[in-house]
Structure 1
Amino acid sequence: MERAAVRLDLRSLSWIAVFAVILAAWALMFMMARMAGLDVWGRPTGLNLMPMTQFGTLMGMWSIMMAAMMLPAMVPALGTYERLIVAADGTRAGWWGVLLGYSLAWLAFAAGIAMLQVVLVGAGFVDALGVLTSQLLTAALLVAVGVFQFSRTKAVCHGRCHAPMTFFLGYWRTGFGGGLDIGLRLGGYCTICCWGFMALGFVAGTMSLLWMGAATLFMVLEKLPAIGHRLIRPAGFILVLAGCGVAAASTM
């Protein structure tokens, strides 16, 4: 009885910690937007605009964004591993290993996209608010992300995220090391699956809280077993259509 109570307490504390990090990340993003002089749309609210163009600052911003946006999308997979703690002799340490591995994969992505933003800002393709300066580039990005939704790569990577039980059992090893390995693998697939919605921050503004919220909601829904696979192609069609609309508007 006492051992069961300890396991229950560890389970509860683990989930509380995850949701606390998510809430803290969203709170930090809100505070950063206010300090930068931006509203929820990512637009300046006054003249005291604080541009974010240095790698260290951008790395911090993207890292917090990854926690705010991708940890919610990880919840279904963590729930799946939770069931395997009982059904396949998994451990709480393995659960934390999965979470750490997944987070490390997204931190690597954060470093990459922060460096990309520095390069794009230096080349004049992205402004200090993290928005593409050319409508043609905006159109190209929208179309590229939309077309990717129809690709085989998207289908394969989404399948790993959409059905984590099969994925976990395919690479199953108990303990923290096993969980870390699975988490890194799953995080790798997830970054490939969702890179486009992160890149769309350059369309809406990388500090736009509304874009962050909409992208997070879509990526969570995309990973739900019942409806996730039905959202991929409609989203791709909408993005391609939006890109064509922006391209047409730029030529008028």
Structure 2
Amino acid sequence: MPHLLRSTLWLGFFGLILWAWWVMYSMSISMDLDLIGRPGEVGQRMAAMDPRMDMYMPMAEFGPLFAMWAIMMAAMMLPTLVPTLRSYEDLMISADGTRAGWLGVVLGYLLVWVAFAAVITGAQLALLFGGVVDMLGIAKSSWVGAGLLIVVGLFQFTRAKEICHGVCHSPMSYFLGHWRTGFRGGLRMGLGLGAFCVGCCWGFMSLGFVGGVMSLLWMGLATLFMVIEKLPQIGHYVTKPMGFALILMGIGWAAYPMLSGG
């Protein structure tokens, strides 16, 4: 019976991830985007529209945009939780962990990222009505995109990144220092882990404004890197090299329009 419950919970967990990615795919199709976030004919007309026009534009309203970001958080961040849940399972016998606590960790982690989805939704709307991004959430100026890439790249070298990544990279140490039993205990630890994870990965979410917030390729690559960054064996080796890569991308992003005469 315990093995059946474990299998059911893990299948449900991965099913939620697959569902979230399917919804993201469906939304990208409905917005007429290609894999790298460029709008097709329909998407170009949508992106060119003034959000202040007297017409219904769901991506200019908080509710639909928040739902999109919340689903995106589930699709991108739940896969990064796998090593953490495995660490919790390692402590289930020696530290009186429970399946209810396991669920609490998942829920707490997800709640923090849903809260972050609300924050970044507000940021996107402010950028939209300020004329910085288009209706599809893509920066209109190459300088904005370059600036974001460089800022996120520089963040990879900060003490804040080091602290937050240390917790995400070694969740066992966090559990040992903050252990609580039962569902409420798991929820509390999940909230704490989620907060450190937001501190570690907020920059990669903001880069959606460079490559397209609904670009499956762009966000898929961000998800892959965040998963690798949290792997116990290799995660600490990739953080700073990615910082260098993002800075170089930012410089190239800014230089390309000048070199091409655009």
Q: Specify the TM-score bucket, using the shorter chain as the normaliser.
A: over 0.9
Distance of 2:90 and 2:69 partners within structure 1 = 31
Q: Which residue of 2 aligns with 1:3?
A: none
Could you tell me how far 1:247 is from its partner in structure 2? 2.4
Q: Is the 8 A contact 2:132 2:141 kept in 1?
A: yes
**For residues 68-108 of structure 1, what are the alpha-carbon distances to aligned partners after superposition, in whole Å with 9 as ceiling and x for unaligned?**
10000001101110111122110111000000000000001
What is the letter of the counterpart of residue 20 of structure 2? A
Structure 2: gaps of 5 or more residues: 48-58
What is the letter of the counterpart of residue 46 of structure 1? E
Q: Identity, % of aligned pairs?
A: 56
Q: Which residue of 1 aligns with 2:81?
A: 74
Aligned pair partner of 2:198 in 191, 197, 205 = 191
- Structure 1 residues 157 and 180: CA distance shift in structure 2, 3 A: same
Give me the CA root mean square deviation: 1.2
Q: Which residue of 1 aligns with 2:3?
A: 8
Q: Which residue of 2 aligns with 1:24?
A: 19
Could you tell me how far 1:152 is from its partner in structure 2? 0.4
Could you tell me how far 1:250 is from its partner in structure 2? 4.4
Please say if 1:228 is aligned against 2:235.
yes
* TM-score under structure 1 length normalisation: 0.95
Q: Is the 8 A contact 2:31 2:42 kept in 1?
A: no
Distance of 1:53 and 1:79 partners within structure 2 = 39
Residues 58-69 of structure 1 mapped to structure 2, 5 A cutoff = 58-69=65-76
- Structure 1 residues 44 and 83: CA distance shift in structure 2, 3 A: same
**For residues 148-171 of structure 1, what are the alpha-carbon distances to aligned partners after superposition, in whole Å with 9 as ceiling and x for unaligned?**
000000000000000000101100
Q: Which residue of 2 aligns with 1:112?
A: 119
What is the letter of the counterpart of residue 39 of structure 1? D
**For residues 7-54 of structure 1, what are the alpha-carbon distances to aligned partners after superposition, in whole Å with 9 as ceiling and x for unaligned?**
111111110010000000010001111111212222223336656222
The runs of at least 4 aligned residues of structure 1 exceeding 3 Å deviation read 48-51, 249-252
Q: Is the 8 A contact 1:106 1:191 kept in 2?
A: yes
Q: Is the 8 A contact 1:25 1:67 kept in 2?
A: yes
Structure 1: gaps of 5 or more residues: 1-5
Residues 1-252 of structure 1 mapped to structure 2, 5 A cutoff = 6-47=1-42, 52-252=59-259
- Structure 1 residues 248 and 39: CA distance shift in structure 2, 3 A: closer
Distance of 1:190 and 1:64 partners within structure 2 = 17
Q: Which residue of 1 aligns with 2:54?
A: none
* TM-score under structure 2 length normalisation: 0.91
